[in-house]
Amino acid sequence: MVSVSVSVSKPILQPTKLQDHKFTSFSLPRNVSFQGRLGIRFLRHGSLREVRITRSSFQPDVLVVADSPDEASQVPVFSCSEAIERLKTFRENQKGKQKFLAMYSSVLGGITTDPAAMVIPMDDHMVHRGHGVFDTAAIMDGHLYELDQHLDRILRSASMVRVDLPFDRESIKRILIQTVSVAKCQKGSLRYWLSVGPGDFQLSPSDCHDPALYAIVIQDQSPFVSKGIKVITSSIPIKPPLFATVKSVNYLPNVLSKMEAEDSGAFAAIWLDNYGFVAEGPNMNVAFVTKEKYLLMPQFDKILSGCTAKRVLTLAEGMVRGGNLQGIRIRNVTVEEGKQAEEMMLIGSGILVRPVVQWDDQVIGDGKEGPVAKHLLDLLLEDMKSGTPTVRMPVP
């Protein structure tokens, strides 16, 4: 319950500290309105000198005192230490499922475990021009899964978009492992970015002289889900191959495609390529099982080469040997073929293997989670928990 009292008293031109409160917007009497969150406060149309706000049993805070609307609408100016305090409060008040355990920044030249300090410079070319690449690696039982494979991909992406490396491959790998080690993370993910770095706000990166590496360790205890999901065909245009095959930070089409799916109650929207063949999802690859029991996957020439999908292809060879699959085919897949498949699944490091039970209005197979998707998920989980050192790296 928020109550507002208005009084006229000694003018204080400096807005005072705002702690413990998060505000939405509400109206004040006499056409004065207030909206505040983390120190951004506005007072309009009024000659009031002081506004107090009280929230349930907290002590009132003096929020805005001013003689004129101009003074009152001033945005607070913080010193470095005050700004850091604000960032700390922001992080403390943030309620999310994920915890950010550690961040490495080449700008800092080290690792921090304080989420308030997990920031990157505004003038980094990656921030204001999207000139950067990123990748991930899952953390399972304190081991990094497929780090080398993801590292190879980020280095390939960096070279495709002309981002120089701040360090050589081995140093990057050592930094990433050390960041996870400091985080003491057992389950979650490591995400990392390579960028041309800070410099200025020009389009050209010619004045960005120090390429940057950033990495963050995110704890995520939620289990991998195997329940079947619905997908739709994306109406958001697919990225052209040059941009779809690089894992850059330009994920606007991917975000819009995901939002489009959520709007219609689906989990993801599937892209078709410019020839109408099945391409990929916004952050996952797609695979099918044909009625003849072939595992079918679109080729990777116009989409991101998924590390998980490639691992699944390797693990599926065991299913072929065991007679659970007839074979594996990587080729163009038509929508018709996909929709008539016995099984459909999404594959990616965030979801592992997720069965699809409906695509647009078409029920896939018998509308239930299929045995091949289930088998592949089990194989992948087993691989993450006890795979060979080529895919599973212990974090000291």
Smallest gap from Cβ 349 to ligand PLP, in A, equals 3
283 binds ligand PLP (CB under 6 A): yes
Q: Is 247 a catalytic residue?
A: yes
Helix H, strand E, coil C: the string for the chain is: CEEEEEECCCCCCCCCCCCCCCCCEEECCCCCEEECECCECCCCCCCCCEEEEEECCCCCEEEECCCCHHHHCCCCCCCHHHHHHHHHHHHHHCCCCCEEEEEEECCCCEEECCHHHCCCCCCCHHHHHCCEEEEEEEEECCEEECHHHHHHHHHHHHHHCCCCCCCCHHHHHHHHHHHHHHHCCCCEEEEEEEECCCCCCCCCHHHCCCCEEEEEEEECCCCCCCCCEEEEECCCCCCCHHHHCCCECCCHHHHHHHHHHHHCCCCEEECECCCCEECCCCCCEEEEECCCCEEEECCCCCCCCCHHHHHHHHHHHHHHHCCCCCEEEECCCEHHHHHCCCEEEEEECCCEEEEEEEECCEECCCCCCCHHHHHHHHHHHHHHHHCCCCCEEECC
Q: Which is nearer to ligand PLP, 89 or 285 (CB)?
A: 285
Would you count residue 284 as binding ligand PLP (CB under 6 A)?
yes
Nearer to ligand PLP, 89 or 254 (CB): 254
The least distance separating ligand PLP from the CB of residue 136, rounded to whole angstroms, comes to 6
Pick from 313, 349, 380, 383 the residue near ligand PLP by CB under 6 A: 349
Measured from the CB atom, the residue of 105 and 285 that comes closer to ligand PLP is 285
Nearest distance, CB of residue 158 and ligand PLP, angstroms: 16
Of 307, 325, 333, 341, the one binding ligand PLP by CB under 6 A: 307
The region of 32-40, 162-170, 279-287, 334-342 touching ligand PLP under the rule CB under 6 A is 279-287
Stretch that binds ligand PLP, among 15-23, 158-166, 189-197, 283-291 (CB under 6 A): 283-291
CB of 265 to ligand PLP, least distance (A): 22
Q: Catalytic residues, which ones? A: 247
| Site residues for ligand PLP per CB under 6 A | 254, 280, 283-285, 304, 306-309, 348-349
